[in-house]
Structure 1
C-alpha cells in the first residue's frame, strides 16, 4: 500500500502542500502527499486570482525556481493585468483572474505527472517522533507511515471552526471537516500555538446581477503571462471583472447585525488579517468613509458563479443578503453561499529555522498558514522552500536559503523567522528593502541558476534564461556603443517634450531620459533594424529598457546590499547564550535567546533589538 519509508511526507494538499510535494519529488525524493480530499488539491478557497501587489513577484519567483504555480496560473487564467504600470518597474505586479475549477484540475494533473510522487486521501491525526526526530505520521484509521521528513501544510484545517452569525461548526473550509490531533501532539512536544482567523465573502449568481450599473474592469490590451517557459501562452480572449460600491445605506443595514457578528460580540477572539479586513471591520475602522469598493469577479470561463471581493463577512446570512441587495447592480441578487469566518490553529514561526525546519524536531517542516501567513502565493512559496530543504536534508546536502536581497521569498521567510507574526502576514513591496533588485521581470535572472544547481529547475529553463539575459545585455551594449545624430534624434525628443541635442551622442544617454520609452527609440532606424535582425521579444525589450533607465538605482541598491552582506557573513555560534551579556538590554537578551539568530544581520532585524545591542554583541563576539 505504501513504501516502507518515504523521504518526504507532505500533509495537506493546498497551495503550500502542492508546491512542497512537487519540489521534493522533482528533486528525486520519494514523496507522499496526504490530503483529506484529493478532489480539492490546490483549491482556491478564497478569491479566484493569483498574484497582485508583491504577490505577483512571488509567483514569478516560484516559477523561476521550477515550481508549478506560474504555469497553472497561465493555463487557467481568464484575465491578465499588470498592476502599478504607472509607477516604476519595482512596483509592477502581475495578476491573473483564474478559472477556479480549471486551476485545481490543472494542478492535480501536473502533480499526477510528477515522478516519485504518491497520493493518499485521509486525515493525518498524529506524528511519530523518536527522541528529537520525526519518523512518520499516524492517520485517523490508525495507519502508521514512515518517513525521513514531514512537511505540515494544514492551512486553516487545524481545529478549524467556521462562523456565520450566531452559528458555528467545525470545518477547514465550507463543506469540509476540520483536522484534529496534530495540534495536541505538537503542544505536548513543547511547541507554542495560537489562533488566527480569516474570512471569505458570499458567492453569488451572476445571472441575478445588473452589470450595466457597475464599472467594467477589463484585462490588459496586450496581456503578458506568469511563467518564463514557453509552454504557456498569453491570453487571446479575456473575461472582464466589474466594480461597484457600498453606500451609507448598506453600512447601516450591516450595522444592524453587529450584535450577532462573532467578531464583535467576542465569540471570535483571534486576530484577523489587517490588510484584507472584513466588511464589518472596514465600517468600524473607517467610520468616516461612506462607501467602499467591491470587485465582482467571475469564477471561471463558463460558470455563472461570482466572487464579491471586498465583502468578506461573518455576519448572519440574512443580514449579508439584505445589505448586499442595496448595492448597485445587486438589487435582485441570489446567493450561491454566504460569507463566513474561520478560526484555526497556527504556530508562531519564530520556532522555525530559515529552512522552515522546526527547531524542536529534526526533519519536521511547517509551511503556509500554519506559520501565520495569509494568501495563496505566500503559502506556495513556503511550500516550495520546505520541499526543497526537506529533499536536501534527506540527501545530506547543503540547505537552500534565499537572502533578503535575492527574493521576496527570502524577505517573507526572514520576516517570519526573525520577527514572528501576531496577525496573518501578507507580503507587500514595502516589506522589501531591495525592491529595485527584486522585480517581477528579473526573477529568472536572480533564481533560475541557483535552482538548477540544486537539481530543481530544468536545463530547458536555464537555457532560456541565459538566452534572454544575453540578448538583453547585448541590446543594452548596443545602446551604449551606438550614436544617433541630432537630425534623427531631435524630432523624437521634441515629440516627447524632451530637450533637443546639438551634436551626436550615444543612444544610451537619450534612452535614459524619463520621458523617452522603447517605442520612441524604435523610431531610430538603427534600433528598429537591430530589433528585427535579432527578433527580440517583448521580455527582452522590457528587460533592456529597465536596465538602461534604472541602472543608477540598481547599482546603488546592489552596493547597499553588499555592505549589509558583511553582517550576514558574521555567524553567531549555535545555541549561543545571551543571558550573561549585561551590557545588552534585557528585552534584547530575551528575544535573541528565544529566536537564536544565526547571523549578526539577522539579530539586527529582531524586534526589540537596538543598534546599541548589536554593537555590544559585536564586541562580545570579538569583532
Structure 2
C-alpha cells in the first residue's frame, strides 16, 4: 500500500477509532515510544506480535553496565519507565568499575524476566490514552509522502498521523542453530516479513544484521562450587531517581563466574565446519563488542580462556543465562562445549543458543528527531536503526515518542546534543557514522563523559523532560529537592573554614592526608583524593547529614573541578559549531570545493549544522572549511540584501 491511498482494497475493514500515534512493536523501544505521547495527552495504539512478550528480554536478564546504565538513568530523568520498572522487578544490583573514575562507574542490575515483562505490560494496560493490541503489521499506508496508518495481518486498517516502528529483530527474522535455519523472531516468535517488503517498496535501504544468544541451562544441574560467586551490593542503590533503595536489606540473587578452557577451544576449532557464523553461510553482520564464542576462539587463538557469567533468569524459574557463551553452533556441539567448562560439565540445556539475522534501516534515512527523511510522520527507534541493547532501544523509543507528540502540538522537537546526554551521542552517531554492524553504547564514545555521569542525569535532563510535559509533579519535586540540597552543601563547604589546630592535623593524619598550614574551607580539603564527605566528621563536629547521592555528586564536582572546567570550555567550542546551521535547501553538488565523497554523504544525511557535518564519516576538515566559506558568503550576501 506504499504511496497508494487506503482505498486500494488491501484491507477488510477500517478501525472506527482514530489514533494520534501508532507504535509497531512493544519491546523496550516500543514501550517508551508509546508511554511518552500517551502521558502527554495523545491517543496511542500499540500493536505487537505477542502480548506475552511486552518488554521481553530475549538476551541478558539484566540492565546497566558502563554507558548503558547512563542511558537507563537518562530515560528516567526525562520521565521514562525503564528504570522504575527495573527497580520494581530486579533481584540484584551492584556498582561496577568502582576502582575507576566516576565517569565510567555504572549500575548493573539483574531482572526477574517474567516480572519485568508482567509489570511493564500492566503499566501499558493501565495507562490512560493507550490501547494495547496483539496483531502483526504487514503494510504502511502512505499518502502524498505522509504516513496515515498501518494495515495488519488480520486485515484491519488503523489510522494515525504518526507511526513509530520499533520492530526490534523481527524484520524478516531468521533463526540459525548449526545446520538448522528457519524463519522466526526472538524465542521462535512470529517474524515480520511483510513489513520489510513494505519498507523496500517505499525505497528504504535495508541492511542485514545478526546477533547471537547463549544456551540457557537448568540451575539444579550446575555445580556452583566450581565457580566464583558475584553477590549484589548492600548499599542504597537504585536505577530510578524516584526509587528508595528497593533492595536494601533484602535477599539478592547471586551471579556466578566461570571460564572456558583449552578443551573448550579445541572442541570449537574441530567443529568450525559446522559453525555458520564462521563458515560464511550467514548474510548478516554481527556485533563487534559482543561476539560469539566461535568468533572469539578463532579470532584470538592465543587466549587460553574466556570469562563466562551465569545470570539467573528469575525467581519463578531455574533457568540460568550463560553470558559470554553466545553461539550459533549445533545443539549437540553446544552440549559438548558445556562439558569442558568448570561447573557446567553436567549442565542440562533448557534452551539452545541461537543466531538471529534480521533487517534494519541503514543510517542516513532518519534525522536527529528519529523521523524518517522520506515520509513525514514516520519514525524508527531501537534495533530497527541498527543498535543492540535494551537501553539503547529504550532511549531511542523515548525520543521518538516525545518528538511525535511535540510534532502533533506544532512545537520544536527535542534533540539532545552530544554534550547533554549519552542518548544524544547515540542518535548523533546513528545519523552521522553510518554503522555497518550492531551499534553498542560505550563510555569511550562520549567525549564529555566526565560531565555525562549517571549520578547527575537528573540534574542534566529533568528540566528538559519537564518542558516537554513528561515529567510528573512528584518527579519534579524530587529533582528540585536534590538540586536545593546540592546548592546548600556547596555553600556550606565554601563558607565553612577550619584552622590548623592540633586536633585537625591529627584527624588529617589519621585519614592518611597531608597537613594543614593555614586556614582553609572544607571545599578545599574535600578536593584531596583520599578524603570523602563522611570523613569531614573527624574535622567538623556538626557536619550536616545529606543523602549519598547528594554529597557524592558534590564530591565529584570538587575533586574533578579542573577537568570539568576544561570539558565545559570544549563544549563552548562544540556549541559554536552546532549553532552554525546549514540551510535546509543547500545543494551540495553545486559546491565545487567539496570532494565527491563529501557531496554524496552530505546530500544523503542532510546535516542540521556544521558540527554535525564534521562528524560524518567521509567528510574531511577541508570539506568543513569549504562549508564555512560557503556559509560566510551566504551570510554576507544576506546582510547586503538587508542594507
| TM-score category (smaller protein) | over 0.9
| Residues 366-410 of structure 1: per-residue CA shift (max 9 Å, x gap) | 000100000000001000000111111122221111111110000
Show the counterpart of 2:591: 581
Show the counterpart of 1:95: 108
The reply to whether residue 82 of structure 1 matches residue 95 of structure 2 is yes
The reply to whether residue 245 of structure 1 matches residue 259 of structure 2 is yes
The reply to whether residue 138 of structure 1 matches residue 151 of structure 2 is yes
1:109 to 73, 98, 122: 122
Once residues 520 and 446 of structure 2 are traced to their aligned partners in structure 1, the CA distance between those partners, rounded to angstroms, is 37
Structure 1 residue matching 2:613: 3-state secondary structure: helix
Show the counterpart of 2:515: 500
Show the counterpart of 1:267: 281
Show the counterpart of 2:492: 478
Once residues 478 and 557 of structure 2 are traced to their aligned partners in structure 1, the CA distance between those partners, rounded to angstroms, is 19
Matches within 5 A, 1:438-449: 438-449=452-463
Show the counterpart of 2:622: 612
Structure 2 residue matching 1:441: 3-state secondary structure: coil
Deviates more, 1:34-43 or 1:216-225: 216-225
Structure 2 residue matching 1:198: 3-state secondary structure: strand
**RMSD (Å), alpha carbons:** 1.3
Show the counterpart of 2:531: 516
Which 5+ residue runs of structure 1 have no aligned equivalent? none
Show the counterpart of 2:304: 290
Once residues 450 and 86 of structure 1 are traced to their aligned partners in structure 2, the CA distance between those partners, rounded to angstroms, is 32
Deviates more, 1:490-499 or 1:48-57: 490-499
TM-score (norm 2): 0.94
The reply to whether residue 166 of structure 1 matches residue 176 of structure 2 is no
Instruction: Report how many residues are paired.
Output: 618
Aligned partners of 2:236 and 2:245 also within 8 Å: no
Show the counterpart of 2:340: 326
| Residues 489-543 of structure 1: per-residue CA shift (max 9 Å, x gap) | 3223212332211232111111101111223213223453x22xxxx21211212
- Identify if the C-alpha distance between structure 1 residues 326 and 216 changes in structure 2 by more than 3 Å, giving closer, same or farther: same
Show the counterpart of 1:127: 140
Aligned partners of 1:71 and 1:232 also within 8 Å: no
Structure 2 residue matching 1:486: 3-state secondary structure: coil
Once residues 78 and 278 of structure 2 are traced to their aligned partners in structure 1, the CA distance between those partners, rounded to angstroms, is 43
2:313 to 292, 299, 312: 299
The reply to whether residue 314 of structure 1 matches residue 328 of structure 2 is yes
| Residues 93-140 of structure 1: per-residue CA shift (max 9 Å, x gap) | 111011111110111111122110001101000000111000000001
The reply to whether residue 387 of structure 1 matches residue 395 of structure 2 is no
Aligned partners of 2:175 and 2:356 also within 8 Å: yes
| Residues 182-220 of structure 1: per-residue CA shift (max 9 Å, x gap) | 111111221111100001000000000110100111111
Show the counterpart of 2:10: none
1:14 to 27, 40, 48: 27
Once residues 558 and 467 of structure 1 are traced to their aligned partners in structure 2, the CA distance between those partners, rounded to angstroms, is 25
- Give how far 1:243 is off: 0.2
1:468 to 482, 499, 519: 482
Deviates more, 1:59-68 or 1:544-553: 544-553
After superposing on structure 2, the runs of 4+ consecutive aligned residues of structure 1 that deviate more than 6 Å are none
Once residues 556 and 266 of structure 1 are traced to their aligned partners in structure 2, the CA distance between those partners, rounded to angstroms, is 47
Aligned partners of 1:162 and 1:342 also within 8 Å: yes
Once residues 169 and 270 of structure 2 are traced to their aligned partners in structure 1, the CA distance between those partners, rounded to angstroms, is 29
Once residues 558 and 148 of structure 1 are traced to their aligned partners in structure 2, the CA distance between those partners, rounded to angstroms, is 40
The reply to whether residue 210 of structure 1 matches residue 220 of structure 2 is no
Which 5+ residue runs of structure 2 have no aligned equivalent? 1-13, 634-643
Once residues 406 and 271 of structure 2 are traced to their aligned partners in structure 1, the CA distance between those partners, rounded to angstroms, is 52
Once residues 130 and 229 of structure 1 are traced to their aligned partners in structure 2, the CA distance between those partners, rounded to angstroms, is 43
1:368 to 382, 398, 404: 382
Structure 1 residue matching 2:414: 3-state secondary structure: coil
- Give how far 1:26 is off: 0.7
TM-score (norm 1): 0.97
| Residues 237-283 of structure 1: per-residue CA shift (max 9 Å, x gap) | 21110100101101111222211111122220211000000000110
Aligned partners of 2:212 and 2:292 also within 8 Å: yes
